[in-house]
């Protein structure tokens, strides 16, 4: 992928979503459609965006029993996504079946720990250890299950890359210098994540909520 930036299209209306892509498409490498987009616009919305010609990252974070996740993975072949996410905490069998059901060439990546969580959130969910321990544990499980890579924060990417040299690593929670963090907690700059080994940089609000999204996307591209 020449431009690693995937725009997180967490936008509630399809018209403004398409207009936003038109404005920034020269400065991004693909579009990430997540839960908010899919719940609001469904299959029709995904097709509409896919027809705009940029690679699609379907971030539906599947998390269910292996049979259900495999069925969902088969159902999304129709969108020809470049990347699809499952939750790594769904376990090894679920990830193996998800990968087996994915289309050829589609990267299946395991979400480890949401970038909106920090160490105290993690301990409240009953998980022992630091965010880095937790991410490393789930990365190893995803690797063993045959996934292409994982989603983690920029704070863990360097360590994970050392253990999984040819992995495909998706990093959200990115904030260019001077941007507010919002609900994200484990943030780094896009450049830092790229230098530390990220394959894909997921960026939403720093572009979509900027006064001038095109200028924001261009400025981010220039730092990479
Ligand atoms: O607006 P912002 O740049 O924070 O958007 C980040 C995007 O990445 C959101 O669409 C969110 O769902 C997604 N994401 C995340 N943390 C993860 C996985 C995905 O923030 N671990």
Return the percentage of the chain with pLDDT > 70, whole number: 100
Q: How far is the CA of 153 from the centre of ligand 1 (A)?
A: 10
Q: How confident is the model at residue 10 (pLDDT cuts 50, 70, 90)?
A: confident
Cα 95 from Cα 103, distance rounded (Å): 14
Annotation says 61 is catalytic? yes
**What's this model's pTM, rounded to 2 decimal places?**
0.94
- pLDDT digits over 13-23, tens only? 899 999 999 99
Residue 185 has pLDDT above 80, yes or no: yes
Q: How far is the CA of 172 from the centre of ligand 1 (A)?
A: 5
- pLDDT digits over 88-110, tens only? 999 999 999 999 999 999 999 99
Mean pLDDT of 104-118: 94
Cα 64 from Cα 197, distance rounded (Å): 30
Atom of ligand 1 nearest to the CA of 209: 1
Q: How confident is the model at residue 1 (pLDDT cuts 50, 70, 90)?
A: low
Confirm or reject: Cβ of 31 under 6 Å from ligand 1.
no
Q: Which of 18, 25, 61, 158 is catalytic?
A: 61
Buried b vs exposed e over 120-145: b needs ≥16 C-beta within 10 Å?
A: eebeeeebeeebbebbbbbbebbbeb
Q: Are 144 and 93 in contact (CB under 8 A)?
A: no
């Amino acid at each position: 992928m020449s431009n690693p930036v995937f725009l997180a299209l967490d936008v509630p209306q399809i018209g403004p979503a398409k207009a936003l892509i038109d404005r920034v498409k020269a400065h991004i490498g693909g579009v990430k459609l997540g839960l908010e987009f899919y719940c609001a616009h469904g299959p029709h919305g995904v097709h509409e965006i896919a027809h705009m010609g940029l690679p699609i990252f379907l971030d539906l974070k599947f998390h269910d029993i292996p049979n259900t996740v495999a069925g969902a993975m088969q159902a999304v072949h129709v969108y020809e996504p470049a990347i699809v996410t499952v939750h790594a905490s769904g376990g090894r069998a679920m990830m193996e079946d998800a990968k087996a059901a994915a289309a050829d060439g589609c990267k299946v990546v395991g979400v480890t720990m949401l970038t909106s969580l920090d160490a105290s959130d993690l301990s409240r969910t009953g998980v022992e250890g630091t965010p880095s321990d937790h991410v490393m544990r789930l990365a190893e499980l995803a690797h063993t299950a045959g996934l292409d890579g994982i989603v983690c924060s920029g704070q863990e990417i360097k360590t994970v890359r050392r253990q999984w040299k040819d992995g495909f690593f998706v990093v959200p929670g990115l904030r260019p210098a001077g941007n507010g963090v919002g609900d994200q907690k484990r943030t780094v700059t896009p450049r830092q994540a790229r230098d530390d080994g990220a394959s894909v940089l997921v960026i939403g609000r720093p572009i979509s909520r900027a006064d001038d999204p095109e200028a924001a996307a261009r400025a981010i591209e220039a730092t990479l």
